[in-house]
């Protein structure tokens, strides 16, 4: 018998079931909070594949399996930092800001968007540095 079970035997018989239910409820609530937090940082598989493939295309001279793992590492770094919704919004804005003309101006000229894009790109650089990805080679 574990010490916790021994202590339960010391409680009046009427209180023991209530204590067990209360502890189970706390554990379930904690699990639900952990699960929802984890789910918000769980990126869809298709997005993970697209992101890793894009990273690998930027580094064609690196060994296939080496850069595959490094690019996956960088995306995992991003996923620990940003929820998928944050990542999706900032990644889209980062790409769209580079579109010339009026279409890109919507993202470039939005109040505060430039600072968010710069912060996102800095985070991308940190992720790549953390996973030992060299800057892309220029052709």
- Residue 17 located in a structural domain: no
DSSP codes of every residue in 12-51: -TTHHHHHHHHHHHHHHHHHHHHHHHHHHT---HHHHHHH
Higher pLDDT, 125 or 36: 125
- What is the residue range of 73's domain? 45-130
Residue-wise pLDDT for 106-125, tens only, equals 878 888 888 999 999 999 99
Three-state secondary structure call for residue 74: helix
Q: Residue 61's pLDDT is what?
A: 86
* 40-96 residue pLDDT tens: 678 999 999 999 999 999 999 889 999 999 999 999 999 999 999 999 999 999 999
Residue 52 lies in a domain: yes
In order of 50, 86, 124, the CA distances from 27 in angstroms are 37, 29, 36
Q: Is residue 106 part of a domain?
A: yes
Residue 20 forms part of a structural domain = no
Task: Indicate whether 103 belongs to any domain.
Answer: yes
Q: How many domains does the chain have?
A: 1
């Amino acid at each position: 018998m574990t010490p916790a079970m021994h202590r339960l035997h010391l409680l009046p018989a009427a209180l023991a079931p209530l204590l067990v239910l209360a502890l189970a409820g706390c554990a379930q609530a904690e699990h639900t909070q952990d699960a929802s937090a984890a789910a918000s940082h769980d990126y869809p598989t298709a997005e993970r594949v697209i992101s890793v493939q894009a990273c690998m295309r930027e580094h064609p001279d690196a060994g296939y399996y080496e850069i595959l793992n490094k690019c996956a590492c960088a995306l995992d770094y991003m996923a620990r930092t940003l929820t998928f919704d944050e990542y999706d919004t900032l990644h889209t804005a980062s790409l769209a800001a580079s579109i010339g003309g009026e279409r890109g101006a919507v993202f470039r000229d939005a109040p505060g968007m430039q600072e968010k894009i710069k912060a996102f790109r800095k985070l991308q650089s940190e992720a790549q540095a953390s996973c030992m990805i060299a800057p892309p080679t220029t052709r």
